[in-house]
């Protein structure tokens, strides 16, 4: 067993990373689903969507053949509606609240219908939004992820000239670099970005990193306002022996490489242990399996009841053949010749609920060893606190502190998304960008 | 096992399900397939005047993903040689002696043409004749079909011509393209028809192509009014049937019910309103002849469940329940009730009542599910909420009489009770 790339044939890679939720094949297929929708009043699906997409309305618009109107309904609430249709954990949001669940029927496939309309909008390059003439105000957005793109679009529509500074060479943030490839492709992220930028008034400058070749002070000086949508960084350290052995990798970096360099070039172990049970842990585990790892085991210190990922996500991992060990906390990584050989875990038991309301796991003292040549860490990401050091921005536990108006402690610096909330869904970041844009427009006296 | 056999003016069939005059009954091939599938009888597609058909001929109305809720045609009467039709009718009767074969007729508007056509048809051994006074497209422009059915005097005259020579039962098929079917029906009964059938198709335009602006169906870029049928017309047909069943001039003769029938349930409804048997066309055109299997089976099971031995046990059973508005009980009052255990929180009842009815539903916001309750004091018992509710038996209507005794509109006025008091 060893960590190596090129484990599979191109055909196998293609099959393993094919679209998890393929689009409807035809208009008739979409209509069959559309016609199941009850067109609820004050619909629960809309109420639980962080961006409040008017779901019954956009579904009805598909029914009447007004696809352009349907796409506008979606995108005017959520400019990344196409991406969200692919990556949103809808089972705990819109589809999870669909009233049909209460009749023990399958919920409406809202995400696939949303994809139907937004795919068409992107494919046909519809000009759904019109930009007001430039009013001579400039805003800098740091980070071309969901929050930044959403904010930039909202600002530019009102005639603001927006410059986005992005540290990577592509836009999309975690959509592009941090989510399973079978959910959303880099090509789609590019298309979506192009669609957003096609509004006009938005310039994206790549390879611009705060604290390196970009300074917040300069941005504050050169722009009327600044929006920080810088996301979160790498996985937090486990702080256990053996963490620096060859073969211990960060889930974000693992997914990043897979997305950036392609499937064949991404090395994966034969026996992979993934630590954590969030969405990123699942994405890392399933993709390790799909890259050709023989065995993949997810290790989580609590039980299924406390897991942060959804049932649907867990099901994907199980169907991919990933093993799951509940109540196991990493204690030490054992190496041989500087390379990972096994992962030693403490057996845990659940105690009383902690501040998150979930029962807290404690160490029983018993341990067991799991053979592994690769350990992927996915135990939550750490904020990019170092990027903001000496910037004067106030942080709480590394996260940017904002008020109700998305304003930081510095008057013309606004922030939203993962860098504020510590890492939530894409759809939350889109909403934060939207709200951030609104606050900036108010700050600049453009809207009431 | 109930007895489904039917006797319509002495025309016997193993079940009351006939195929109506139309494309499914225009030649031996189809009719043989229909009889093999189990249909009790057919009304052979209209014979008579010389015609030439166009292409295309049909269009339809879809509703929320369901195709052919309504169907429209501009096809004329049979365009096959009369001799072929007559020969095939004879052959079919010989091969299926237990089935009913009635032939639809539409001769040119002179007595001799009718007499000749009836003679030729009777020579086939057909069991009955159906006079087509209903076709509302093409033929009507030539003074036939619905043009006859729309004029009681002409209709009566032609029935009289027919009755002069006919030796087998005569059914007159009526057009719904009138303000009331009763005058023509009455005239035809006076003229001597042995039975009535209704409805023929309703003049219609099913829709327009939003790119070419040409209504459907397009014939080289032009269209014309067609005849509408299918599930969408059933309520209209039932009403017209009822108007004949409650009328003492027309309920003397048996009626064959037609209009949007596709299931045993539809058939039972027509029979409950007085139809002795029923005829089907559009449903067969959509699904094929095999639909008759469940029509037979379903009717049998329903009759067994209700304890009906023969179809005559229930024919007309709903007629006494049809009355005029002025006879309805004004003291009867119902209010809606929402079963909270069954409610899924879709809010359809609320928005319907709030926007378009009596604002009788209370809304308590919840995240994500709202709670809806009835404001009984404001509810007029209109049924709207119950009708739009997607959950069976979630909204029920509870009886809350205003007073114990029956009181109708005439009595109400006589007593000077309050009006416009809501």
Per-position DSSP letters for B195-242, written without gaps between them: EEEE--PEEE---B-TTT-PBSSPBTTB---EEEESGGGHHHHHHHHH
**Dihedral over alpha carbons A97, A100, A105, A106 (to 10 degrees):** -50
Interface contact B221, partner A, CB < 8 A:
no
Chain B residue closest in CA terms to A48: B368
Residue A401 included in any domain: yes
User: A341 and A394: one domain?
Assistant: no
Taking residues B392-399, report their average pLDDT.
97
Residue B268: the pLDDT is 98
Instruction: Write the residue in A35, A40, A63 that is nearest to B347 by C-beta.
Output: A40
Domains of chain B: 6-321 (3.20.20.70), 325-414 (3.30.70.20)
Strand segments, DSSP code E, in B5-50 are 6-8, 11-13, 17-19, 41-48
Give the number of other Cβ atoms within 10 Å of residue A317's Cβ: 23
Residue A131 included in any domain: no
In chain B, which among 369-388 make CB contacts under 8 A with chain A? 369-370
Residue A24 DSSP one-character state = P
User: A373 and A270: one domain?
Assistant: yes
User: A408 and A313: one domain?
Assistant: no
Distance CA A193, CA B148 (A): 68
User: A246 and A362: one domain?
Assistant: yes
pLDDT above 80: residue B276: yes
Catalytic residue among B135, B281, B389, B394: B135
Residue A296 included in any domain: yes
Distance CA B201, CA B59 (A): 13
Give the number of other Cβ atoms within 10 Å of residue B219's Cβ: 13
**Are B234 and B259 within 8 A, CB to CB?**
yes
Instruction: Write the residue in B65, B344, B348 that is nearest to A102 by C-beta.
Output: B344
User: A43 and A149: one domain?
Assistant: no
Which value, in Å, is the radius of gyration of the alpha carbons in chain B?
Answer: 24
- Report the b/e string of B133-172 with b at 16+ CB within 10 A: bbbbbbbbeeebbbbbbbbbebbbbbbebbeeebebbbbb
Closest CA to A381 of A359, A370, A397: A397
User: How many beta-carbon contacts under 8 Å exist across A and B?
Assistant: 45
Phi-psi region of A172 (alpha: psi -120 to 50; beta: other; left: phi over 0): left
Cβ contact, residue pair B348, A38, below 8 Å: yes
Chain B residue closest in CA terms to A102: B344
**pLDDT per residue as tens digits for the range B297-312:** 999 999 999 999 999 9
Instruction: Write the residue in B65, B390, B391 that is nearest to A35 by C-beta.
Output: B65
**Are A103 and A322 within 8 A, CB to CB?**
no
User: A95 and A203: one domain?
Assistant: no
Distance CA B159, CA B55 (A): 33
User: A360 and A390: one domain?
Assistant: no
Structure tokens at B79: 């365009």
Between strands B226-229 and B66-73, the pairing is antiparallel
**pLDDT per residue as tens digits for the range B173-200:** 999 999 999 999 999 999 999 999 999 9
User: A281 and A400: one domain?
Assistant: no
| Last residue in a domain, options A123, A151, A179 | A123
> What's the whole-number average pLDDT of chain B?
97
Residue A130 included in any domain: no
A99 to chain B, closest Cα gap in Å? 5
Instruction: Write the residue in A35, A48, A100 that is nearest to B64 by C-beta.
Output: A35
Residue A152 included in any domain: yes
Interface contact B368, partner A, CB < 8 A:
yes
DSSP string, A83-140: HHHHH--GGGTHHHH-GGGGGTSPPP-HHHHHHHHHHHHHHTT-----PPPP-S-EEE
User: A358 and A248: one domain?
Assistant: yes
Interface contact A32, partner B, CB < 8 A:
yes
User: A109 and A179: one domain?
Assistant: no
The HSE-up count of residue B273 (CA atoms within 13 Å, CB side) is: 23
Cβ contact, residue pair B367, A35, below 8 Å: no
Strand segments, DSSP code E, in B107-161 are 128-132
Helix extents (H) in B254-342: 264-272, 282-287, 292-306
* Residue numbers of the domain that contains A407: 138-233+382-443
Residue A336 included in any domain: yes
Residues 6+ apart with CB under 8 A from B412: B330
A32 to chain B, closest Cα gap in Å? 6
Residue B251: the pLDDT is 97
Measured in degrees and rounded to the nearest 5, phi and psi for residue A271 equal: -120, 110
| Last residue in a domain, options A123, A148, A180 | A123
Q: What angle do CA B135, B137, B142 make, to 5 degrees?
A: 90
CATH number at residue A163: 3.50.50.60
Q: Give every residue of chain A whose pLDDT is below 50, as ranges.
A: none
Closest CA to A284 of A273, B330, A221: A273
**Are A362 and A219 within 8 A, CB to CB?**
no
SS3 B347: coil
Residues of B in contact with A32 (CB under 8 A): 65
Residue A223 included in any domain: yes
Residue A1: the pLDDT is 61
Q: How far are the Cα atoms of A82, A391, B276, B325 from residue B322, in angstroms, in the given order?
A: 56, 84, 18, 9
Phi-psi region of B39 (alpha: psi -120 to 50; beta: other; left: phi over 0): beta
Q: How far are the Cα atoms of A123, A186, B8 from residue A71, in angstroms, in the given order?
A: 12, 21, 58
Total domains in chain A come to 3
CATH number at residue A61: 1.10.1060.10
What size, in residues, is chain A?
448
Q: How far is CA A237 from the centre of its chain?
A: 21
User: A247 and A303: one domain?
Assistant: yes
pLDDT above 90: residue B422: no
**pLDDT per residue as tens digits for the range B12-66:** 999 999 999 999 999 999 999 999 999 999 999 999 999 999 999 999 999 988 9
List residues bridging with B372 in a β-sheet.
B363
Which ipTM did the prediction report?
A: 0.91
Which helix (H) or strand (E) segment holds residue A419: the answer is helix A418-421
Q: What angle do CA A51, A65, A131 make, to 5 degrees?
A: 50
Active site residue B135: yes
Distance CA A325, CA B48 (A): 83
Residue A83: the pLDDT is 97
User: A388 and A309: one domain?
Assistant: no
Residue A203 included in any domain: yes
Residue A327 DSSP one-character state = S
**pLDDT per residue as tens digits for the range B198-236:** 999 999 999 999 999 999 999 999 999 999 999 999 999
B198 to chain A, closest Cα gap in Å? 33
| Last residue in a domain, options A91, A123, A155 | A123
Cβ contact, residue pair A31, B350, below 8 Å: no
């Amino acid at each position: 067993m060893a960590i190596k790339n090129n484990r599979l044939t191109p055909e196998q890679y293609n099959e393993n990373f094919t679209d998890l939720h393929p689009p409807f094949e035809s208009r008739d297929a979409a209509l069959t689903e559309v016609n199941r929708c009850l067109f609820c009043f004050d619909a629960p699906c809309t109420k639980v969507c962080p961006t409040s997409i008017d779901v019954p309305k956009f579904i009805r618009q598909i029914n009447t053949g007004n696809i352009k109107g349907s796409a506008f309904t979606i995108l005017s609430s959520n400019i990344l509606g196409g991406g969200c249709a692919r990556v949103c954990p809808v089972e705990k949001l819109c589809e999870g609240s669909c009233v049909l669940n209460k009749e023990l029927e399958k919920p409406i496939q809202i995400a696939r219908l949303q994809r139907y309309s937004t795919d068409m909008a992107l494919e046909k390059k519809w000009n759904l939004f019109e930009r007001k003439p430039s009013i001579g105000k400039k805003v800098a957005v740091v980070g071309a992820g969901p929050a930044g793109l959403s904010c930039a679009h909202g600002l530019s529509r009102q005639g603001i000239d927006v410059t986005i500074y992005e540290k990577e060479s592509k836009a999309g943030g975690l959509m592009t670099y941090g989510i399973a490839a079978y959910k959303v492709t880099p090509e789609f992220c590019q298309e979506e970005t192009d669609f957003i930028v096609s509004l006009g008034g938005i310039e994206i400058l790549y390879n611009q990193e705060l604290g390196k070749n970009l300074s917040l002070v300069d941005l504050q000086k050169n722009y009327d306002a600044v929006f920080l949508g810088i996301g979160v960084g790498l996985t937090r350290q486990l702080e256990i022996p053996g963490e620096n052995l060859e073969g211990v990798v960060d889930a974000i970096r693992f997914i990043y490489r897979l997305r950036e360099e392609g499937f064949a070039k991404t090395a994966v172990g034969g026996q992979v242990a993934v630590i954590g049970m969030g969405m990123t842990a699942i994405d890392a585990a399933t993709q390790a399996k799909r890259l050709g790892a023989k065995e993949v085991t997810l290790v989580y210190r609590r039980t299924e009841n406390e897991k942060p990922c959804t049932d649907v996500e867990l099901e994907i991992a199980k169907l991919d053949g990933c093993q799951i060990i509940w109540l196991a906390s990493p204690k030490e990584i054992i190496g041989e010749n500087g390379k990972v050989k096994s992962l030693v875990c403490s057996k845990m038991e659940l105690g009383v609920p902690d501040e998150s309301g979930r029962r807290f796991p404690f160490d029983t003292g018993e341990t067991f060893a799991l053979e592994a040549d690769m350990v992927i860490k996915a135990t939550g990401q750490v904020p990019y606190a170092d990027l903001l050091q000496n910037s004067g921005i106030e942080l709480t536990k590394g996260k940017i502190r904002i008020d109700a108006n998305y304003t930081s402690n510095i008057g013309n610096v606004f922030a939203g998304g993962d860098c504020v909330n510590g890492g939530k869904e894409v759809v939350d970041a889109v909403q934060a960008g939207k709200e951030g844009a609104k606050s900036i427009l108010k700050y600049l006296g453009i809207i009431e | 096992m109930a007895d489904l056999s039917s006797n319509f003016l002495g025309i016997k069939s193993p079940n009351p399900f006939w195929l109506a005059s139309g494309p499914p009954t225009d030649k031996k091939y189809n009719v043989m397939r229909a009889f093999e599938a189990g249909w009790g009888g057919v009304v052979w597609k209209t014979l008579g005047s010389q015609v030439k058909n166009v292409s295309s001929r049909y269009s339809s109305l879809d509703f929320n993903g369901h195709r052919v809720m309504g169907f429209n045609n501009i096809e004329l009467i049979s365009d096959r040689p009369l001799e072929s039709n007559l020969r095939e009718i004879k052959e079919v009767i010989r091969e299926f002696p237990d089935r009913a074969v009635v032939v639809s007729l539409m001769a040119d508007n002179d007595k001799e043409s009718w007499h000749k056509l009836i003679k030729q048809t009777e020579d086939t051994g057909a069991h009955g004749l159906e006079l087509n006074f209903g076709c509302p497209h093409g033929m009507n422009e030539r003074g036939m079909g619905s043009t006859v059915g729309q004029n009681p005097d002409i209709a009566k005259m032609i029935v009289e011509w027919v009755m002069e020579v006919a030796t087998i039962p005569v059914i007159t098929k009526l057009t719904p393209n009138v303000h009331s079917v009763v005058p023509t029906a009455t005239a035809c009964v006076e003229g001597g028809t042995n039975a009535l059938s209704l409805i023929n198709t309703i003049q219609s335009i099913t829709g327009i192509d939003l790119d070419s602006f040409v209504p459907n169906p397009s014939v080289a870029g032009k269209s014309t009014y067609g005849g509408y049928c299918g599930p969408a017309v059933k309520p209209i047909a039932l009403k017209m049937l009822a108007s004949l069943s409650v009328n003492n001039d027309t309920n003397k003769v048996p009626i064959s019910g037609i209009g949007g029938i596709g299931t045993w349930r539809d058939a039972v409804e027509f029979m409950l309103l007085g139809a002795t048997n029923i005829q089907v066309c559009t449903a067969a055109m959509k699904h094929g002849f095999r639909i008759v299997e469940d029509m037979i089976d379903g009717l049998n099971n329903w009759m067994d469940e209700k304890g009906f031995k023969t179809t005559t046990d229930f024919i007309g059973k709903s007629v006494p329940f049809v009355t005029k508005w002025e006879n309805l009980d004004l003291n009867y009052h119902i209010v809606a009730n929402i079963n909270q255990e069954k409610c899924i929180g879709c809010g359809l009842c609320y928005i319907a009542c709030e926007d378009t009815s009596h604002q009788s539903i209370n809304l308590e916001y919840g995240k994500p599910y709202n709670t809806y309750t009835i404001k009984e004091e404001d509810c007029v018992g209109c049924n709207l909420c119950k009708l739009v509710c997607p959950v069976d038996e979630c909204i029920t209507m509870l009886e809350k009489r205003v007073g114990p005794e029956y009181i109708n509109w005439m009595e109400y006025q006589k007593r000077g009770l309050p009006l416009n008091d809501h």
